[in-house]
Amino acid sequence: MEVTDIKNEGLSHELKIIVPAEDVETKLKAKLEEVSGKVSIPGFRPGKVPPSIIRQRYGEAVRGEVLEMAVGEAMASALKERDLQPAMQPKVEIQKFEDGEELEFIVKVDVLPEIDPVDFKTVEVEKLKVAVDEEQIEKSLADMAENMAGSEPISGKRKSKTGDIVVLDFEGKVGGEPFDGGKASDFHLTLGSNQFVPGFEDQLLGLTAGSDVSVKVTMPDEYPAENLAGKEAIFECTVKEIREKKEAELNDEFAKNLGLESLDALRTQMRERTESEYSSVCREKTKRALLDKLDNLHQFELPGSMVGSEYDSIWQQYLEAKKNHPENAEDDEVENPEKFYRNVAERRVRLGLLLAAVGQRNNIDVSAEEVNRALIAEAQRHPGQEKKIIEMYRENNQAMASIRAPLFEDKVVDFILEMANVSEREVTLDELKKEIEAEQMAAAEKSQPKKKVSTKKKAAPKKKAAPKKKTPAKKTARSAKKDKNDE
């Protein structure tokens, strides 16, 4: 085997590999022999077919396999010899592969960069802490009570007014014909909730229980059912009962209705829930800040192919989003989307590689148990098909990796946070909200002019990344991880 360097610039290498004809031939022969035991050709007993005939019939097919095998082997040994760690699947270009001649091909490979994580002790991260406000809890309790409000039938002959709940039977007709979904009985309609077609509820005002009324409405033009849109409809309604809203009182009884012991227990639960909510928001923020810092602190060369494929997938998403929601596109139109997304891709790849490297160096691993837990949590989000979901993930390695990646990322971030210089700061909820907003604004603004100067630095793509429901690094952590698995 003969290996020559064609290109060696930074991370991208190009190797020309020549495999001698004899090597290919021996491989081919071995493969043909393997085949000869299996095939049956008329006129010959199985396994007794002369090699020349096997070769004539199956030579082409086997050659393909042999080519793949020979290329794979030669490439692996060449990379090992040169001590190259490919970042992605290397690209292979076959130059020459003729019968009885040497095999010649070119391998284009991007190697993983040397990553030298900074001393995390020097990284300063601010951790926000939000104290739970008692007032807030009381308020949300009150909200809850309102939502839980029951209703009581009105005795006597009061007339219906806005805010009442009307229990009614109705049948709707368009042009004398009843239509689908136009009929219901014992329907609880809150007047003023605008649940129905505009104008419908107004006509039910001022009625008493037991009265019949026919309601005439014009269906709005944008009504979902096309055959009804814009048509006149008549609804025959019978008002059975008028109920009045009654707010639930905040007491132990209320808590018991919710399956808790007392109002205090409810309060504690609320507090806990709010706390965990706040802390997860804060954590997200801290993590983002940390990732920003790390992104700034590390400037290593990125394998072009990885950035390329990441960019392609982002670009695809972008085009897709543009196609599906053309109306949204204008809001966050970036001046030079190609450049913008390339920066995003670079950031993702950089952070992904960095996190993967840190994780590897410090033996951070995600245990099977943790994966299982996450898997079950994921399955529970689709009630009724838990089994199916779990099965799907079990069978699909890539899907498994997508569960694994965020766990891994979180663990590494935790690890770094432990080492980092973390300062805590207490803020109120409002302050936190403001800060997050300000950050987003700044990010959006900052990204614009920066791109024009085309600095290689990150373009703080938070606003973009958020709707995709991924933190920027997650994706690359996954792909980086996947690549590693592929090796």
Partner 1 sequence: MSWKHYIGEKRVTKERQYELIRTPVITEKATLGGEHGQVTFKVPMSATKPEIKAAVEALFNVKVKAVNTLRQKGKIKLFRGRAGRRNDTKKAIICLEEGHSIDVTTGV
Tokens (6 digits) for 236 = 């025959």
Q: Give bridge partners of residue 178 from the DSSP assignment.
A: 173
- Provide, rounded to whole angstroms, the least separation between the CB of residue 49 and partner 1: 8
- Provide, rounded to whole angstroms, the least separation between the CB of residue 40 and partner 1: 12
Nearer to partner 1, 44 or 179 (CB): 44
Nearer to partner 1, 41 or 248 (CB): 41
Q: What is the DSSP string of 67-97?
A: HHHHHHHHHHHHHHHHT--BSSPPEEEEEE-
Between CA 485 and CA 482 the distance in angstroms is: 5
Nearer to partner 1, 16 or 57 (CB): 57
Nearer to partner 1, 62 or 109 (CB): 62
Nearer to partner 1, 43 or 100 (CB): 43
Nearer to partner 1, 36 or 286 (CB): 36
How many of the other CB atoms lie within 10 Å of CB of 87?
A: 26
- Provide, rounded to whole angstroms, the least separation between the CB of residue 46 and partner 1: 11
Instruction: Count CA within 13 A, CB hemisphere, residue 290.
Output: 32
Nearer to partner 1, 61 or 258 (CB): 61
Nearer to partner 1, 58 or 278 (CB): 58
How many of the other CB atoms lie within 10 Å of CB of 92?
A: 17
Task: Name the residue among 399, 398, 367 with its Cα closest to residue 390.
Answer: 399
Kindly report the CA angle at 287 between 284 and 292, in degrees rounded to 5? 125
Beta carbons of 478 and 401 less than 8 angstroms apart: yes
Task: Please give the single-letter amino acid code of residue 330.
Answer: E
DSSP SS3 for 211: coil
Beta carbons of 116 and 300 less than 8 angstroms apart: yes
Q: Max CA-CA distance within the chain?
A: 104
Between CA 370 and CA 400 the distance in angstroms is: 12
Tokens (6 digits) for 481 = 């991880």
Nearer to partner 1, 50 or 199 (CB): 50
- Provide, rounded to whole angstroms, the least separation between the CB of residue 375 and partner 1: 57
Binding site for partner 1 (CB under 8 A): 43-45, 48-50, 52-53, 56
- Provide, rounded to whole angstroms, the least separation between the CB of residue 51 and partner 1: 11
Nearer to partner 1, 53 or 265 (CB): 53
Kindly report the CA angle at 271 between 270 and 276, in degrees rounded to 5? 100
- Provide, rounded to whole angstroms, the least separation between the CB of residue 359 and partner 1: 59
- Provide, rounded to whole angstroms, the least separation between the CB of residue 47 and partner 1: 11
Task: Name the residue among 412, 293, 292, 423 with its Cα closest to residue 363.
Answer: 412
Q: Give bridge partners of residue 188 from the DSSP assignment.
A: 167
- Provide, rounded to whole angstroms, the least separation between the CB of residue 55 and partner 1: 10
DSSP SS3 for 13: strand
First-to-last C-alpha distance (Å) of the chain: 22
- Provide, rounded to whole angstroms, the least separation between the CB of residue 77 and partner 1: 37
Question: Computed from CA positions of residues 206, 212, 217, 222, in that sequence, does the dihedral angle turn out positive or negative?
Answer: positive
- Provide, rounded to whole angstroms, the least separation between the CB of residue 487 and partner 1: 44
